Amino acid sequence: MNCKFVMYEAMFFLLFLSTPVHADWLYKFVVYDCDKGKDLINIKYVAKYNEEGKKIDDNKDENTINPWELVDGDEDMKIVEKKEIVKKCQLSGGNYDVTIGPSPGNEGNVLGRCGASMSAWVSIKKEDKEIYKGSFEGDCHYSDNEMMPREITVIGKTAEILIKKGIQGKLGWD
């Protein structure tokens, strides 16, 4: 056997063992904006991987919500409390309440099937009448080709709802 080949093979093997392996981490956020000047509410579902997502998470303000921060768990890794955030916005057509809540993949065990999955839902009310309610993602059993909301815009004067959708399986890449 060629000695050089064995040496290169050994070097490759040692390099492989010494190289750290990192999994991608997908950060998800709901970004709320009440823009009185444009007479609209805009709600975006944003997902970014790794450093880009961490940067958003580290610098988020009160209108950028990480759904994981809306749940509390116990020592058995069960979700025991879900919190909601209510944002209020007065536009030309009236008063709007936007409620944002978490949508965990597995409330019984965050380490179980779908447990690492977290999304969010939003409810929009105008003068206490619900005009929209929906989730930004399906659960982990949905098809990756499912079209889900990525941006929801409310026109203040008319209460018209505009929804931009994206493919669930492309979340974080679009």
**Per-residue pLDDT reduced to its tens digit, 99-126:** 999 998 877 777 777 777 889 999 999 9
Residue 7 is predicted with a pLDDT of: 42
The 8-class DSSP code of residue 170 comes to G
- Domain ranges in the chain are 30-170
d(CA 108, CA 35) in angstroms, rounded, equals: 38
**Residue 171's pLDDT is what?**
72
- Give the three-class secondary structure for 1: coil
Question: What values do phi and psi take at 115, rounded to 5?
Answer: -65, -35
H-helix or E-strand containing 15?
A: helix 3-18
* DSSP bridge partners of 161: 154
Neighbours of 65 (CB within 10 A): 22
Whether the model pTM is above 0.85: no
**Cα–Cα distance between 120 and 107 in angstroms, integer?**
13
Query: pLDDT-derived band of residue 70, with 50, 70 and 90 as boundaries?
Result: very high
Q: What is the largest CA-CA distance in the chain?
A: 82
